[in-house]
Amino acid sequence: MKITILGCGTSTGVPVVGCPCNVCVSKDPRNFRTRASLLVEWKGRNFLVDTAPDLHMQALAMKLRRVDAVFYTHGHADHIFGLDELRVFNFIQGGVIPIYGRPETIEQIRRIFDYIWDPGAPLGGGKPMLETRVLDGKVEVFGLPVQPVEIWHGQQPITGYVFDRVGYLTDCSGLPEPSRALLQEKELLIVGALRHRPHPTHFHLQAALDLIAELKPRRALLTHLSHSFDYQKTCAELPAGVELAYDGQAVEFEDRS
């Protein structure tokens, strides 16, 4: 299995449009953050977590040639607005792409992208061919074991995921007890950490570090990052085993089977 951080930026992306701060004008490519998304490669199949508004650019950067399924965390714009980019994978590989999410997320996607499921909508440049699938527990998708994990995004329950030995929790501000049990001692835990100061709907840096200390993954990456983090400076201050993620970062795991 291989995972790649397609994007590790918060909803505005970094640089933030119009911002003259040190991080936004930095020449370090690791301070260039597209909107948060993950690629999971498993036995020749490619899975996405979310379709960020930057999916077009992310797919070009990764030379991505197929997408076998998408797992959505929630229906916020920065996580779903690249959905129409899935069309091109329909063109290349043919067939329908299954997209998974909790009931509210699937409902939001079907409402926001209503033209896709409207037989009366004009075809134009083609519509994505997608099949929505509601998640209500662990599934196996093309052999990949996928465990959805309920997490809190402020007041809203959304979905984190465990893919085999990797946990992915973006836009998280808290976890119910049963979810903590599913996330103990992973090989890799990817957690959202928005900024240094507390925030009502996202973990700030210290809250993410506290969760990591509790769940004890072998390695942890922080994602959904704002411009409050300079890559080099922040990484130098983080505890051992914890790093900021950067766009294009890949982590490979040996095949156990």
102 binds Zn ion (CB under 5 A): no
16 binds Zn ion (CB under 5 A): yes
25 binds Zn ion (CB under 5 A): no
Nearer to Zn ion among residue 135 and residue 172 (C-beta) = 172
The distance of closest approach from Cβ of residue 79 to Zn ion in the complex, given in angstroms and rounded to an integer, is 6
Nearer to Zn ion among residue 19 and residue 134 (C-beta) = 19
- The values of phi and psi at residue 142, to 5°, are 50, 40
Token readout for 71 is 């797992």
238 binds Zn ion (CB under 5 A): no
Q: Are 100 and 72 in contact (CB under 8 A)?
A: yes
Beta bridge partners of 14: 33
78 binds Zn ion (CB under 5 A): yes
- Compose the 188-227 pattern: x for residues touching Zn ion by CB under 5 A, - for all others: ---------------------------------------x
The distance of closest approach from Cβ of residue 23 to Zn ion in the complex, given in angstroms and rounded to an integer, is 5
Detail the DSSP E strand segments found in 79-187: 97-101, 130-134, 139-141, 144-153, 156-163, 166-169
The distance of closest approach from Cβ of residue 187 to Zn ion in the complex, given in angstroms and rounded to an integer, is 24
Nearer to Zn ion among residue 1 and residue 211 (C-beta) = 211
Out of 41, 54, 171, 247, name the contact with Zn ion by CB under 5 A.
171
Q: Are 42 and 4 in contact (CB under 8 A)?
A: no
With contacts defined by CB under 5 A, name the span among 74-82, 123-131, 174-182, 229-237 that binds Zn ion. 74-82
Token readout for 8 is 């590790």
d(CA 152, CA 200): 11
Residue in the block written with tokens 């916020």: 76
The distance of closest approach from Cβ of residue 179 to Zn ion in the complex, given in angstroms and rounded to an integer, is 17
Residue type, 17: V
E strand or H helix at 182 = helix 177-182
With contacts defined by CB under 5 A, name the span among 128-136, 163-171, 183-191, 245-253 that binds Zn ion. 163-171
235 binds Zn ion (CB under 5 A): no
50 binds Zn ion (CB under 5 A): no
Token readout for 136 is 């209500």
d(CA 38, CA 188): 13
d(CA 34, CA 247): 7
d(CA 223, CA 10): 8
The distance of closest approach from Cβ of residue 219 to Zn ion in the complex, given in angstroms and rounded to an integer, is 23
- Compose the 112-151 pattern: x for residues touching Zn ion by CB under 5 A, - for all others: ----------------------------------------
The distance of closest approach from Cβ of residue 100 to Zn ion in the complex, given in angstroms and rounded to an integer, is 17
Dihedral sign, Cα of residue 65, residue 167, residue 135, residue 112: negative
Q: Which residues bind Zn ion (CB under 5 A)?
A: 16, 19, 21, 24, 76, 78, 171, 227
